[in-house]
Amino acid sequence: MTLATLSDVLQPALKDGYAVAGLVCLGWEDMLAYVSAAESVQCPLILQAGPGCREHTPLPVLGAMFRHLAQNASVPVVAHLDHGYSVEECEQAIAAGFTSVMYDGSRKPLQQNIDETAHIAQLAHAAGVSCEGEIGFVGYADGEESDGTDPSEAAKFAIDTDVDAMAISVGNVHLQQDDGDGLDIERIRAIESVTSVPLVIHGGSGVPEAQRIELANTSAICKFNIGTELRMAFGQALRDAVGSDAKRFDRNAILKDTIIPLSGAAQSVLRTMGKH
């Protein structure tokens, strides 16, 4: 059994100078591809169920899927709730067998974010589950603008919430389809200097690969969330699978053809995490 909590995989990463990928899942085929990729690269993996995934599939089903894959994997696998927006949602994830929950109060005033995140961290820890919080809002490509993390607020947030990982806003953007301008290294160093909590980058698809590798090896950033670039890889694989035989209609046969190319794309991502 290789089911792991977020702390189980991030504390060694922080100590030994590498990062772990949080791969955003939408269905069975990508979950399967990501675990296969992690086994090929021989590195830990965080399977993430974000709001879009939860809208499509109920949390208890996702928990069972994640746990089944983790329990049969040869590498540590974390079952992680990404962007939980309420106590109830985080409680449901814990009850469904998730080993890690991320509460996103980043749009809220600082003290409210701290109080709510601390409450969820306490609930999670009582159940043997890890908790990730977010300080500083990470914006969206062609959407809401980011509000960069203030290092002094990050220090207070880390202490007062007792989170196991802290997502920060340092030039990263959700749903970015190509490399951006890179992250704000000066701000990252300032945050690192005032906290020992493993740091998390949401919107990791928009971080240039070379910078991702460098930060995985030389900073307290221990988790990069990757979604968009792998969803793009899945979309291309699905188009190829559908187009390969106009007479084919069985969805299982079509979707099965996406697993190998998606696993290959995921392996490329995992190799930028610095463990190998």
Burial class (CB in 10 A: 0-12, 13-18, 19+), 225: buried
Q: Contact, 122 vs 162, CB < 8 A?
A: yes
Beta bridge partners of 221: 199
Contact assessment for residue 83 and residue 51, using Cβ atoms and an 8 Å cutoff = yes
Strand partners, 3: 77
Active site residue 82: yes
Q: What is the DSSP string of 155-215?
A: HHHHHHH--SEEEE-SS--BT--S--S---HHHHHHHHTT--SPEEESSGGGS-HHHHHHH
Q: Catalytic pick from 82, 104, 150, 257?
A: 82
Lookup: tokens for 74: 């040869």
Active centre residues (catalytic): 82
